[in-house]
Structure 1
Amino acid sequence: MVSPLPIDEETSRGSFEAGETEEIRTNYSQSGLYRNYGTASPLWTLPYEDWTHQVFMGPDGKHLVIASVGETTWSNQSDHAVTFFRKGIPLASYMYADLTSW
């Protein structure tokens, strides 16, 4: 996921060093799926929402799941649990209240 945050703010979260972040942003302008041989043309893209999510890629290269981790906001929804995508297009999104009875 390519963050729109300033590099110093992005690196303060501990995911990558500043040089790595700059290189990623130079090579990949958008969040999405790219071929593994260095092409800068995405197969599909999706918007960056928040860094507090785990991203799970399906083995087919078409399906993606974004799950919330702790307190987060996804598209201004504070109780977001999980969203399913196919080629960057949202298929379904669930809030914690949709998935739990407590």
Structure 2
Amino acid sequence: MRNIIKCCLFLSAIFTPFLVYGDSEAPPRSYAITSSDSKFLFVMIAPLEAQRYENSLSDAARRESQKTRTMYPASGMYLNDGSTTPLWKIDWYSDGVLVASDGIHLVRLGPWARSLSDEAFTFFANGKELRSYKVGDLVESEILLPHSVSHFTWQENMGLDEQRRILSVATLSRERYVFDYTTGEIISASRPIRAIVIASVAVLLFIAFLIIKRRRMFAKGAV
């Protein structure tokens, strides 16, 4: 018994650091993203209190973070011509954004999800919020999604189509969505799990109806 306990403690000592590390969210950093046509540059400045996390970044990421923070005065959209005067500014931080090449529209990506109530993404125009979606607006359940110790992953892929001005989203539970990124409205949605649940409920209700009807017929025949 003592050997079993020692073995468990040994395995715990080995694997716990990996579980904790694998479950850790990326430290905040300052960064810049160029639009697909290279005309605009979106800059994200990490909060001042986040600077203490810079030592945990890779050398390249730390240099980029420090350079971005030094060069630009605020988070927002800039002309990609060396200008340091923002076209418009924001007052929030996110680890990831999708930048449209019109210099107007932006999609803020939510954090690594812990619950269905967490932000999935939010649409912006000129720094002003258009519409926001929670993870629970897009997936029916987190049960079958891949989990870490305290997070789960819901998105399979996500991307902008700038010719059609849409955001396409695919989830790991097979939902598919198309959004108008200029308004944040849903253009089309495919929710197979919801369709299966609705169909299953309809079948069960129909079976229950047939059973009740048959029992009533037998009851009348018995009389």
TM range (shorter): 0.7 to 0.9
The residue type equivalent to 1:63 in the other structure is H
1:59 matches 2:119: no
- Residues 7, 21 of structure 1: 8 Å contact kept: no
The residue type equivalent to 2:82 in the other structure is G
Task: Specify the alignment match of 1:23 in structure 2.
Answer: 67
Q: Secondary structure at the match of 1:10?
A: helix
Give the Å deviation of 1:13: 4.0
| TM-score of the aligned structures, taking structure 1 as reference length | 0.76
- Residues 81, 94 of structure 1: 8 Å contact kept: yes
Q: Which runs of 5+ in 1 are unaligned?
A: 73-77
Query: Which has the higher relative contact order, 1 or 2, with Cα contacts under 8 A spaced 6 or more apart?
Result: 1
Bigger helix share: 2
Identity of aligned residues (%): 36
Structure 1: which 4+ aligned runs deviate by more than 3 Å? none
The residue type equivalent to 1:57 in the other structure is V
Taking the aligned partners of 2:113 and 2:56, their CA distance within structure 1 comes to 18
- Residues 94, 109 of structure 2: 8 Å contact kept: no
Aligned residues: 94
1:92 to 123, 128, 131: 131
Taking the aligned partners of 2:132 and 2:50, their CA distance within structure 1 comes to 28
Question: Over aligned residues, Cα RMSD in angstroms?
Answer: 2.2
| TM-score of the aligned structures, taking structure 2 as reference length | 0.38
Name the CA shift for 1:68/1:44 in 2 (closer, same or farther; >3 Å). Answer: same
Taking the aligned partners of 2:55 and 2:69, their CA distance within structure 1 comes to 13
Q: Which runs of 5+ in 2 are unaligned?
A: 1-43, 142-223
Bigger strand share: 1
1:12-51 aligned within 5 A: 12-14=56-58, 16-17=61-62, 19-51=63-95
Spell out, residue by residue over 1:41-60, the C-alpha distance to the aligned partner (whole angstroms, 9 max, x if none).
00011123343xx2100121
Q: Kindly name which structure, 1 or 2, has the bigger radius of gyration based on alpha carbons.
A: 2
